[in-house]
Amino acid sequence: MTQPSDHQPVMLKEVLQGLSIRPDGVYVDGTFGRGGHAAKILAALSDKGRLIVMDKDPQAIAAAQEQHAHDARVTIIHDDYARMKHHIEAAGLALNVDGVLLDLGVSSPQLDDAQRGFSFQTNGPLDMRMNNAQGETAAQWLMQASEQEIADVLWRFGEERFSRRIARRIVEYRQHTLINDTDTLASLIRECVPSPRGKEKGKHPATRSFQAIRIRINRELDNIQTVLDDLFHILKVGGRLLVISFHSLEDRIIKQFIRRESTPPRIPKGLPLRQAGITAQVRLRAIGKAIKAGLQELADNPRAQRGAQNRRTSRLMRRVYWLMLLVVLVTGSALTVVYVKHESRVLFAELRQVQKLQDEEMIHWGRLQLQNSTLLTQANVETMARKKLGMVLPDNVQIVTLPTDE
């Protein structure tokens, strides 16, 4: 039986603190893996608590079945966490979830199993699908994608400087030979990329490209975006989202989400509204700052220890585990959404009112300007002076210019 203890969960203490588990609460672990985090969450729940675990990897789901099939508190779902909202709604738990955990990326068992094709350390079929029961493999994709598309993926998802060169080499090579295994792909990349130097020294030249292709095959960034956008249909008011991310592309999406949802809307100057009232309407509050895994954790983690036997791998593992933890408190969901919408409608109405008043003022101002300019014509001034003040303009003959003192 797969024991969760086989896999040491990352940043366990921070995860448990961050989720601030309520014994009777409802929790979702969207990335079960081998259940390291799930087991600890479960241990903190009472008989009334619930844990929904998801993973798109059939092997992870098999492990979840082995570990928890008989626990009535646990629901096991084999699906992408991008469909979390659908499952939560189907279970009647919409807006009732106390906490969601996402431990992003690949698991150690996935990396270690050469048959999954995630790693260039040992040769295996070029698969890279997290759900290896469906969808296109990396080999299939590389055989049919255009050179431009391959280059784009390597650049966007791997920030690979030699993306064009690698794409050209792949397209050239595939004209006569299949790229079916990880060794072939890694050697093609090695031909195009100079040995990493400086900060990147010791890193395998294929690291960035493998990451990029994996992200493309599993649509990883799209899935993160989807689940974040759906959070306000899942979490209850005061519910928490906790994300462990592995690289800057994931980080960026999460940070942008936090910024977008926790920044109050700017109100135009002059509106009769107070910023404090608007600030209270943000849907989300970030708790604390992103936390990085400590060196102690790097040292304690079995993968890092294993890596220490091989200096190159050791550096690689340090990078992998140099991760970020983001804790987010959603201060309001459904109610707040409605309220925010309502507030924005009020704001909109007030803005329209102000604009209408402004338009009327402009028309009035225009009329006055017109009147003013008409009144200021010489003939008008003369008429008014004559009629209202009884003044008479002198003839030109009567006008004498007096010399000045100078």
Ligand X SMILES: C[S@@+](CC[C@H](N)C(=O)[O-])C[C@H]1O[C@@H](n2cnc3c(N)ncnc32)[C@H](O)[C@@H]1O
Q: DSSP secondary-structure letter at 198?
A: G
Give the per-residue contact string, 120-159, with ligand X (x = CB under 6 A; - = no): ----------x-----------------------------
From the list 12, 35, 4, 33, the residue with the least C-alpha distance to 296 is 12
Q: How far is the CB of 78 from ligand X (least distance, A)?
A: 9
Q: How far is the CB of 156 from ligand X (least distance, A)?
A: 18
CA distance 222 to 84: 14
From the list 72, 62, 76, the residue with the least C-alpha distance to 1 is 62
Which of 41, 52, 60, 324 lies at the binding interface for ligand X (CB under 6 A)? 60
CB 151 within 8 A of CB 162: no
The answer to the question of residue 50 lying near ligand X (CB under 6 A) is no
The answer to the question of residue 9 lying near ligand X (CB under 6 A) is yes
The answer to the question of residue 223 lying near ligand X (CB under 6 A) is yes
The tokens describing 73, both together, are 């508190």
Segment 337-396, which members bind ligand X (CB under 6 A)? none
What count of other Cβ atoms lies within 10 Å of the Cβ of residue 357? 10
CA distance 364 to 385: 26
Residue with tokens 């200021």: 376
Query: Which among 52-60, 234-242, 252-260, 295-303 is the span making contact with ligand X, rule CB under 6 A?
Result: 52-60
Q: DSSP secondary-structure letter at 27?
A: E
Query: Which among 103-111, 116-124, 178-186, 256-264 is the span making contact with ligand X, rule CB under 6 A?
Result: 103-111
The answer to the question of residue 307 lying near ligand X (CB under 6 A) is no
CB 374 within 8 A of CB 366: no
CA distance 317 to 303: 7
The answer to the question of residue 56 lying near ligand X (CB under 6 A) is yes
What count of other Cβ atoms lies within 10 Å of the Cβ of residue 275? 11
Q: How far is the CB of 9 from ligand X (least distance, A)?
A: 4
Which of 14, 19, 28, 37 lies at the binding interface for ligand X (CB under 6 A)? 37
Query: Which among 49-57, 68-76, 116-124, 312-320 is the span making contact with ligand X, rule CB under 6 A?
Result: 49-57
The answer to the question of residue 212 lying near ligand X (CB under 6 A) is no
Query: Which among 48-56, 141-149, 320-328, 357-365 is the span making contact with ligand X, rule CB under 6 A?
Result: 48-56
Angle in degrees, 0-180, between the axes of helices 207-218 and 220-234, rounded to the nearest 10: 50
User: Under 8 Å CB-to-CB from 84, ≥6 apart: which residues?
Assistant: 28, 30, 54, 100, 227, 230, 234
Which of 16, 18, 34, 138 lies at the binding interface for ligand X (CB under 6 A)? 34
Size of the site for ligand X (CB under 6 A): 22
The tokens describing 17, both together, are 């603190």
Give the per-residue contact string, 71-100, with ligand X (x = CB under 6 A; - = no): ---------xxx------------------
Q: Which residues bind ligand X (CB under 6 A)?
A: 7, 9, 30-31, 33-37, 54-57, 60, 80-82, 103, 105, 107, 130, 223
